[in-house]
Amino acid sequence: MRASSTFVLASLFAAACGPGATMRSGPLNPGRVETDPSMECLPDPDIEQASMTRHMRFGWTLAEESFLVPPPPAPDEQSSESLEAWSSQVLGPWLERKTHTIEAARRELDQAAEENHRQRIMGGAIVGLMYEDVARVLTEIPAPAELLDEPDIMEVYRNVLRSQARPFLEHARRAYSACAQNGIRPASMRHWSRFCSGREERLPGRRRDHEHLESGETVVEVVAD
């Protein structure tokens, strides 16, 4: 019975690590939760990148490319007319390109998440960062100068911006939440759990409980049984 239990534990560990995984030695970077979203703020994986699957490595590369699409600077003149033109001619095309690169990365990360548990943890963190990046850009769009003396209308305008950012925030929230729960095990990936929990807590807006379990989610947002 003891030999059988040992075999089961070894099999579970192998499945979590992936076949032939090379573990990293030395201290691991815990990641940065208080900086702007970027791939550089991620924690160190507990395995060498060469031990990741092809889908994981490709998804990681595509995610890096998504952060190479910088947000467009706001126009110098911040009248309603100039901001409207900027939104349609500059911000709109940027958002379309940005979401296209995120979706490409997410497809690979979803497939990577199906291959082993560790990659599901990392994929959740990366997806959270990509969506958080977009959400923060949308919530920081400047208000028209004409509204500076109109606090009630300004609040309506800010609410509109928040509603535009909300879908991206909720994607980020669910991805971080799943990463935080999935990262509890193995112990060598627990720093990813803390990282994702910290990023989730700092997202703008109120947290709504249990949204990480809604239907229609992709693999990186699913909590493993």
Over residues 97-155, the pLDDT tens digits come to 999 999 999 999 999 999 999 999 999 999 999 999 999 999 999 999 888 889 998 99
The residues of the chain scoring below 70 in pLDDT are: 1-20, 206-217, 225
Q: CA quadruple 67, 73, 79, 83: dihedral positive or negative?
A: negative
Query: Could you give phi then psi for residue 47, rounded to 5 degrees?
Result: -125, 160
207/36 Cα distance (integer angstroms): 19
Which string of b and e fits 87-115 if b means at least 16 CB within 10 Å? eeeebeeebeebbebbebbbebbbbbbeb
Instruction: Output DSSP code: residue 147.
Output: G
C-alpha 15 chain-centroid distance: 24
Q: What is the pLDDT of residue 207?
A: 52
Enter the DSSP assignment of 210.
T
The span from the CA of 103 to the CA of 130, in Å, is 10
What per-residue confidence (pLDDT) applies to 177? 98
pLDDT score at 220 = 87
How far is it, in rounded angstroms, from Cα 186 to Cα 157?
Answer: 45
**Taking the domains of the chain in order of start, what are their residue ranges?**
63-70+101-225
pLDDT at residue number 2 = 44
Give the predicted TM-score (pTM) of the model. 0.84
Q: Is 26 left (phi over 0), alpha (psi -120 to 50) or beta?
A: left
* Rounded CA separation 201/4 (Å): 42
